[in-house]
Structure 1
Amino acid sequence: MKNLKKLLTLVLVFVALASCKKAGADNSPKTPPSNLIINATVSTDSSGKVNFTASADNAVSYTYEFGNGDIKTAASGNIGYQYTTSGSNTYTVSVTASSSSLLTIKKSIEVTVTVKAAIPTLFWSDEFNTDGAPDPAKWGYDLGTGGNGWGNAELEYYTNRPENAVVQGGVLKINALKENYSGSGYTSARLLSKDKFAFTFGKVEIRAKLPAGVGTWPALWMLGSDISTAGWPACGEIDIMEHLGRTLNTIYGTLHYPGRSGGNADGHTTVIADATTAFHIYALEWTASYIKIYVDGLLFHTTINSGAIPFNHDFFFILNVAMGGGFGGAVDPAFTNATMEVDYIRVYK
C-alpha cells in the first residue's frame, strides 16, 4: 500500500512539472540586436535636412537621439530630420536598436550640419519721409500729464502740436520745450501705435539721435496691447532704449513684468559715443525663446522668454521725450529745448 502511495505521488509531481513547463514563460534563447550600422546623408542646400538610415540584425525598432535634445523612434530605421540652429554645427547622433524581446544595442555617429539663417522680411515700417504731421494711420498721441506725470512724476505736458512732433527733412522730430502750458512747465510729445499697429515676435531696428540736456528722458519702447485689461506691469514692457540727460551716452535696455518692474526691472546698460550728436541703431530681437537688445549691433541685454512672463502676445510702440520725473531727475534750470530725431523704425519677421 505504501508503494502505491509513493507511485501516485511521483505521478502527480510529474504531471505538475509537465503542466508548469507547458504554461510557463518561453525559455527559448533571446538574441540581442547586432551589427548595428548607421548612415547619414546631409543635404547640401544649407536647409539643415538629414536623412538617417539604421539597420541591425534581429532589430524591430530604432530610437534616434539627434544630439539637440530631440528623440524620435522609427520602426524601419529610416528617418528624415531637420536641424534649425543657424550656422555650422556638429551633433552626436545616437541610435538604439531594440529586439522584440526588448534587448538593445546602441551606437553613435557625428554629423555636421549647416543651416543658413533666414533672411528677415520687412513687415512694417515708418521711414518718416513725408513732411508734416506723423502718419495718422500709424501713430496716435498720449495727451496731457497722465494725472501724476504718467506714473513717474514727469514734468511735461504731452501735445499733438507740430511744435512738439513733426516730420521734417526725412526724420521724425520730437521736441521738448520749456514753456508754460496748461499748468506744466514743459511740453513734449508721446507717439504710440496702439490700435494702429502691434505685433508678436520679430526684429526691430530704430535709427535715432537722442536729445541733450540734463533732465531729458527719451525712450523708444513697447507695451503689451492688453494693458487696458491686464494693467501694468502684467501687460509687459520692453524698453529698447532709454537715455538720461544727466548721464550722457549711457543706454538702458530694460524689461518690466510682474516681479521685475520699477527699480527691480530686468535690464542692463551700455555706454556708446556721441548718442546726442550722431545717429545710432537701437535694435530688438524678440522670439518665443529670448529677448535681446542691441546698440549698433552690440548685444547688451538678454532675457530668456517663456510662458511665465508676459512677452508672448502683441505689443505696440511708444516714442517719447519725457522731462524730469523719478528716473529723469531734476531739470537743468538753463534748459530751453531738446529734440529726439528718429530716422526710421522697422519691424522684420
Structure 2
Amino acid sequence: MGLAALAPSVPPAHATPTMAERRLCGATPVFDDEFDELNLSAWILGAARWITHTPWAGDFGDARFTDPGPGSAFSVHDGILSITARKDAEGHWSSGLLASADRDGHGFSTMYGYFETRAKFPPGPGTWVGIWLNENVPQNWMRPTVEVDTIEYYGQFTDAFHSTVHVWPGHSSEPQGGAAQLNSVPAHSLVDDFHTYGTLVTPRWISFYLDHKEFWRTPTPPQHRLPFMFLVNLALGSGWPIDKTPNPTAMQIDYARAYRPADADAFARCLVASASPGGPR
C-alpha cells in the first residue's frame, strides 16, 4: 500500500534519553545504541556493540566498507551517528555498515521482537540505504536462511522504498522464496527529515512500520529457525550509476533499538496507536 503522508518527526535530541523515555508501549529495549559514542570493531565484536562488515564477509555495493578508526565512514556528534560515503583522490569510494553480531555468533540477536531505527537518509542518486535483519547463521548450517529488509532505499527514486523478506536456500535444495513490497512516500521526505523504521517479528507475522504506522505485513516464513541480528548500512550502486552521487554524502542515525515485548499483539496495537498525536507511548 502507498504511504500518502508521513508523521512529522521530532528534531534529534541533544541529551541522551532516559530509560523511561526509551520504553515503548511498556517494553524496555534489550538492545539500544543512542550513538553518544562510537562502539565499533572491524570483524570480532569483543567489547564493542557493532562490527563494521557483514559477519559472513559478504560486503557489497560499489563503495568499500571501512574498518573503524581514523579515516573511517563513522562519526558521532550530539548523539547522531553519521555514516559517510566519500570518494578519494583516486576515485575510489568508501562507506560503512554496522552489524550487531560477529562471525562467531557473539553480539545481539533475537528470534522475535521489534527492531526500530530513527534515521535520515542521504541525498543524491546512487545511494543505497539498508536497514535490515539477518539470521545469525552458525558455521556448517545446511538449511535455508531468512533475511528481512525493513527498508532498501535507492537515492535516485525519492518517492518510494522497498521492503522484502528473503528466504535464501543456502546449502539446501529448497528454492529461493520470500515476499516483497514497494512503498510510496512523498518525494524527498526520507531525505528531508528523520523518520522511524520498524519491524516486528512474531511466530505468525512480520510487520513493517514507518513512524509507527504499519504499512505491510507478511507471514513469517516457516524457514525462520535462527535469531535475527540487526544491520544498518549506506552502500552505493546496486546496479545504479554512481557518477552523480554527491561526494561526500551521509546517512544520519539517531538510535537503533530492539525490544522483546511480552505480548506482541498488544504491543502492535499500542505501536499503531502511538503514531497518532497524543497516542500512548
Please say whether Structure 1 and Structure 2 have the same fold, judged by a TM-score greater than 0.5. Answer: yes
- The Cα shift of 1:172 comes to 1.2
- The Cα shift of 1:218 comes to 0.9
Q: What residue is the counterpart of 2:249 in the other structure?
A: 338
Q: What residue is the counterpart of 1:290 in the other structure?
A: 205
Match of 1:167 among 66, 76, 83: 76
- The Cα shift of 1:133 comes to 5.2
Cα distance, 1:202–1:260 mapped onto 2, change above 3 Å: farther
Mapping of residues 153-232 of structure 1, within 5 Å: 154-160=61-67, 161-162=69-70, 163-179=72-88, 185-194=92-101, 195-226=106-137, 228-230=139-141
Q: Is the 8 A contact 1:206 1:344 kept in 2?
A: yes
- The Cα shift of 1:229 comes to 3.3
Mapping of residues 1-349 of structure 1, within 5 Å: 119-130=26-37, 132=38, 134=40, 137-142=48-53, 150=60, 154-160=61-67, 161-162=69-70, 163-179=72-88, 185-194=92-101, 195-226=106-137, 228-230=139-141, 234-258=144-168, 265-273=178-186, 274-306=189-221, 308-310=222-224, 312-326=225-239, 329-333=240-244, 335-349=246-260
Please give the secondary structure, in 2, of the residue aligned with 1:142.
coil
- Number of aligned residue pairs: 216
- The Cα shift of 1:202 comes to 0.7
Cα distance, 1:320–1:180 mapped onto 2, change above 3 Å: farther
Considering only CA atoms, is the larger Rg found in Structure 1 or Structure 2?
A: 1
What residue ranges of structure 2 are gaps of 5+ in the alignment?
Answer: 1-24, 42-46, 169-173, 261-281
- The Cα shift of 1:234 comes to 2.2
Q: Is the 8 A contact 2:39 2:48 kept in 1?
A: no
Find the aligned partners of 1:260 and 1:294 in 2 and give their Cα distance. 28
Find the aligned partners of 2:184 and 2:212 in 1 and give their Cα distance. 13
Please give the secondary structure, in 1, of the residue aligned with 2:27.
coil
Q: Is the 8 A contact 2:150 2:164 kept in 1?
A: yes
Please give the secondary structure, in 1, of the residue aligned with 2:86.
strand
Q: Is the 8 A contact 1:134 1:166 kept in 2?
A: no
* Structure with greater helix percent: 1
Q: Is the 8 A contact 2:125 2:245 kept in 1?
A: no
Cα distance, 1:334–1:156 mapped onto 2, change above 3 Å: closer
Please give the secondary structure, in 1, of the residue aligned with 2:140.
helix
Cα distance, 1:291–1:180 mapped onto 2, change above 3 Å: farther
Q: What amino acid sits opposite 2:257 in the alignment?
A: R
Q: Is the 8 A contact 2:165 2:178 kept in 1?
A: yes
* Structure with greater strand percent: 1
* Percentage of matched positions with identical amino acids: 26
Q: What amino acid sits opposite 2:119 in the alignment?
A: A
Find the aligned partners of 2:125 and 2:64 in 1 and give their Cα distance. 18
1:93-142 Cα shifts (integer Å, max 9, x gaps): xxxxxxxxxxxxxxxxxxxxxxxxx8333222111123x45485211111
Cα distance, 1:124–1:336 mapped onto 2, change above 3 Å: same
- The Cα shift of 1:331 comes to 1.1
Q: What amino acid sits opposite 1:187 in the alignment?
A: S
Cα distance, 1:260–1:339 mapped onto 2, change above 3 Å: farther
Q: Is the 8 A contact 2:123 2:246 kept in 1?
A: no
- The Cα shift of 1:315 comes to 1.1
- The Cα shift of 1:348 comes to 1.2
What residue ranges of structure 1 are gaps of 5+ in the alignment?
Answer: 1-117
Q: Give the ranges of 4+ consecutive aligned residues of structure 1 lying more than 3 Å apart after TM superposition.
A: 132-136, 227-231, 258-261
Q: What amino acid sits opposite 1:240 in the alignment?
A: T
Please give the secondary structure, in 2, of the residue aligned with 1:189.
strand
Find the aligned partners of 2:152 and 2:31 in 1 and give their Cα distance. 22
Q: What amino acid sits opposite 1:317 in the alignment?
A: F
Higher relative contact order (CA 8 A, sep 6+): 2
Q: Is the 8 A contact 2:145 2:223 kept in 1?
A: no
Find the aligned partners of 2:217 and 2:141 in 1 and give their Cα distance. 24
